[in-house]
A and B are shown apart, each in its own frame.
Chain A
Amino acid sequence: MGLSVGFRSVVKEFGPVRVLHDVSFDLAAGHVYGLIGENGAGKSTLMKILGGYQPATSGDILIDGEARHFASSRDSEALGIVLIHQEFNLAEDLSIAQNIFLGHEKRRGWWLDDAAMRAETARVLKLVGLNRDPNTPVRRLIVAEKQLVEIAKALARRARLLIMDEPTATLTPGETEALFRLMDRLRADGTTIIYISHKLDEIERSTEEVIVMRDGRFVARSPTADISRQRMANLMVGRELSDLFPPKDPAPAGGVPRLLVQNLTVPGWAADIGFAVAAGEILGFAGLVGAGRTELFEGLLGLRPRTVGRVEIDGSAVRIGSPREAAAHGLTYLSEDRKGKGLHVAFGLKENLTLMALERYARPWLRPGAERAALQGAVRAFGIRAGSLDAVAGSLSGGNQQKLGLAKVLHLEPKIVVLDEPTRGVDIGAKRDIYLLIQALARGGRAVVVISSELMELVGLCHRVAVMRGGRIEATLGAEQLSEEELIAYATNARH
């Protein structure tokens, strides 16, 4: 049976900054609650307190009516409270099964009972729909698969209260759907679920009641059936939110494409791919995880072994063997993996911003003043909100890190930009800023490629969308054919 939760005047302070103000609300056992709010609204902090990862500064948490103070996540897990983090807590070199039972190993006498752990792992992997051997090292999994392992880990712990923080940020529609079916099953078993997401359509689809937080405070709650997405968004940002996407510019007329790629093969990921993007055009890449979108572009930049027939930029053939050569030809790429490949989280903001264009600041000595001025310009142009210009990148919120990452790959003023999941883990306000920015890039004559797992985003933003499946482009849809249903159909092979 699930657990009921009561928050009583929960306050949390980090030094002088109060991030939770007197939060009080109750959650009944056995229901699915959606918890929404912009980045920085305090959702994750509140859940970390509930999961025992951080102590509250003051206030109480009642579990099944009894006040509890957790000293660590072990205490809360003992009660059956499991938090699935936004950031993964996986040991890369251990296998899936070893990760799932890490700290909770099954034993037989003095020895580990590997067979039992593997069998249990196989069971929970099947539940989350991850078709992988339990002995696979986690290092070999892609981001979405790691997310599924995190969920499987929670299942193996037999959670009575499951907290999921942005579980679908890295998942494709098919995997998301599988997750929802799993949540339905857990709820039928009586598990209480708290579901945090920025994706309001998912909140609408999967929860019974919505709780809105803003600026560290409880704002409103409502049965999901009685509240529109528009209303949810308005409550989150605290103001009327006009249309999320700017109106589309007309697709640019033909002519010599800015970027033309022919016969690009990335072994194991993409076979014989060709596409072209015009100046001023936004080309989307849709597909399920594992369809080869990210790998295709990493191959194009020479970050993976690949063979390529022909690459042309503005009509002349070029050779791109490394990100450096790509940058020299005016092509830059924003990785989907912000912390692992996108930003130096321990570096300052200006060091991150100027890294790709550093030679411009060296004559031969670097000029900190010029770098600082560049940062001030980028903070203004991209709307980056930072406590201090001397902060390290890792201290920014997800949305602001993403804006910094965008500013970084655009600092070189490339002719062609490839943006991989540009709005992952970003709140609605920041999303709209990023959409406007992408449109402004295209207007400025750049060719823009957007890889995204958010179909709404591709439909709302792109002139054309290429749908990949199993390493091939299934279809390229023009503006008039674009809809979420069409994209899903091609991505999942429902259409043939």
Chain B
Amino acid sequence: MHTQPMRGTSAARLRSLFARLHGVGPLLGLALICIAGALLNSDFATFDNGMNVLTRTAFIGIIAVGMCFVIISGGIDLSVGSMAALIAGLVILSMNQAGSWGFPPLLCVALGMLVAVVLGGVFGLAHGLLITRGRIEPFIVTLGTLGVFRAFLTYFSNGGAITLDNDLSDAYAPVYYADLFGIQCPVWVFAVVALLGGLLLNRTAYGRYVQAIGSNEQVARYAAVSVDRVKVVTYMLLGVCVGVATLLYVPRLGSASPTTGLLWELEAIAAVIVGGTALKGGSGTVFGTVIGAILLSVIGNVLNLTSIISVYLNAAVQGFVIIAVAFLQRRK
């Protein structure tokens, strides 16, 4: 090949500038919406409001980090909202059960948190095995469990709500409401999960394998990558993320009902896509996903604080943003 190295030419510099802009696109969008929000309502740009938004983002954000791995590996998980609901229900039931055995409240809470993470991992394992060993499309598997998880929650709750006992609720509350340096607990967890996710994706062999499988599964298989094992781990990772998000969410309301976690799967997937990850897999970033999640909840927040567009149209605005982002990021 006789292509000359392209350094130094102005066209190449312009192109690399665009490539870099491409990467910061979601960040730029977030900045623009924040500026608009600050101009429209003086309450927007306050620390309290910022923390409020970030705390609400944490649940979807943590799930989106796990979702990011699944989508980059070329898969999808539609069940995360239902999974969160079922985990929330089972966590409350098991904590109430432990409480009725006379366990101290703090032990009950620890037990419940452990149950959340383990259940997430087990559900993810089931997904992974059905997809790899069972050779069923991830879309189908998780469409099935989407129904299964929520139906079981509805069954356990008898169509109503499962409520955490009062003394347990008090012991559990700090997991959601406590703060460190003025920042609420879920935000810290979100930050840690995002940081770990970024490291895992970019700086470990596992993360490279995830990208390799999403980019071309055959090539990865021929290159001696244990494709099945990596995929199973990816779904387990997402399950654990759902578990973590749920254990942060439960103390907020102290109950689980058939509407818990409704449409979370769409919000998580949207955050990943808005963050610049291709739905067909292969490449994407955790950072982009985090920005995507924040961007989507800031939109809702701005609509809440201003009266230009009805807050009932929140989902419509988010939908337009998703389509617009996909439009800007399309490649030839």
Q: Which residues of A contact B (CB under 8 A)?
A: 15-17, 39-40, 215-216, 303, 322-324, 326-327, 332-333, 335, 340-347, 351, 355-356, 358-359, 361-362, 364-366, 385-388, 396-397, 399-400, 408, 412
Contact = CB atoms under 8 A, between A and B. Distances in A.
A114 to B, nearest CB: 30
B282 A346 contact: yes
Between A39, A347, A359, A400, the greatest number of chain B beta carbons within 10 A of the residue's beta carbon is seen for: A347
B6 interface: yes
Interface of B: 1-7, 9, 11-12, 199, 202-205, 207-209, 211-212, 215-216, 218-226, 282-283
A346 B331 CA distance: 13
Given A346-B282, A346-B283, A362-B204, A387 B223 contact: no
Nearest to B8: A16
Contacts of B225: 324, 355
B5 A351 contact: no
Given A324-B225, A366-B208, A344 B215 contact: yes
Given A364-B204, A387-B3, A15 B222 contact: no
B222 A16 contact: no
B199 A365 contact: yes
B208 A358 contact: yes
Nearest to A331: B224
A387 B282 contact: no
Contacts of A341: 218-219, 221-222
A327 B225 CA distance: 10
B169 to A, nearest CB: 39
A396 B1 contact: yes
Nearest to B229: A324
A359 B208 CA distance: 11
A83 to B, nearest CB: 21
A323 B282 contact: no
7 contacts: A15-B12, A16-B11, A40-B2, A323-B224, A341-B222, A342-B219, A351-B208
Contacts of A39: 1
A347 B223 CA distance: 14
B222 to A, nearest CB: 5
8 closest pairs, A vs B, by CB? A397-B1, A327-B224, A323-B224, A362-B205, A358-B205, A365-B203, A324-B224, A40-B1
Given A39-B1, A332-B224, A387-B6, 11 more contacts: A16-B9, A324-B226, A344-B219, A355-B208, A356-B223, A361-B205, A365-B199, A366-B202, A366-B207, A385-B1, A400-B1
A364 B207 CA distance: 11
B212 A355 contact: yes
A359 B11 contact: no
Contacts of A15: 6, 9, 11-12
Contacts of B215: 344, 346-347
A39 B212 CA distance: 28
